[in-house]
Amino acid sequence: MSQTFTKAMARNIFYGGSLFFILLFLSLSFDTQSELPKHDNSANLTAKVAQGKKLWEENDCIGCHTLLGEGAYFAPELGNVYKRLGSKEAIEAFISSRPREGIPGRRSMPQFGFTAEELDAISEFLKYASEIDTAGWPPNIQG
């Protein structure tokens, strides 16, 4: 057997490897497309949830909190806050009870002065986020 690496060998490796990875890509794409409908949570997506998401973005909540693992780690994870606190009313009460001024030398959430409608929208958004199938993330209820 020859110890040299020929052009024919390189071509066969290239085409064989390319074909393998194209087939792998297509099979994984097909698998993803067949699994997505099983995890569809769009039935719960309402105008109130969309308004809550908009408020989440406008007030830069992700600048301090994480949501499903994305964001800053300054404050608690909010992807499971509905499960942690137990109700929308508890979320709304927590947000509205924040002090006007921060406590010196301590992390604290600012008071945004949300209206009752805005509090309801944010709590709806957080409830929606807690119902997303995250395959066990976060690993514990405290986030």
Is the Cβ–Cβ distance between 12 and 20 less than 8 Å?
Answer: no
CATH of 46-130, one of 1.20.1250.20, 1.10.760.10, 3.40.190.10, 1.20.1730.10: 1.10.760.10
The pLDDT of residue 127 is 93
- Joined together, the tokens standing for residue 31 give 């698998």
Residues of the chain under the 50 pLDDT cut: none
DSSP-derived secondary structure for the chain: ---S--HHHHHHHHHHHHHHHHHHHHHHHHHHHHHGGGG--GGG--HHHHHHHHHHHHTTGGGT-EETTEE-SSS-B-TTHHHHH-SHHHHHHHHHTS-SSPPTTS--PPP----HHHHHHHHHHHHHHHTS--TT-SSSTT-
- CA 97/CA 14 separation, integer angstroms: 63
Q: What phi, psi does 130 have (nearest 5°)?
A: -75, -15
Q: Pick from 58, 53, 54: which is nearest to 68 by CA?
A: 53
In one letter, which amino acid is 27? Answer: S
Is the Cβ–Cβ distance between 89 and 142 less than 8 Å?
Answer: no
Domain boundaries, the chain: 7-36, 46-130
The pLDDT of residue 73 is 86
The pLDDT of residue 54 is 96
The pLDDT of residue 102 is 67
- CA 79/CA 128 separation, integer angstroms: 9
The pLDDT of residue 100 is 65
The pLDDT of residue 76 is 87
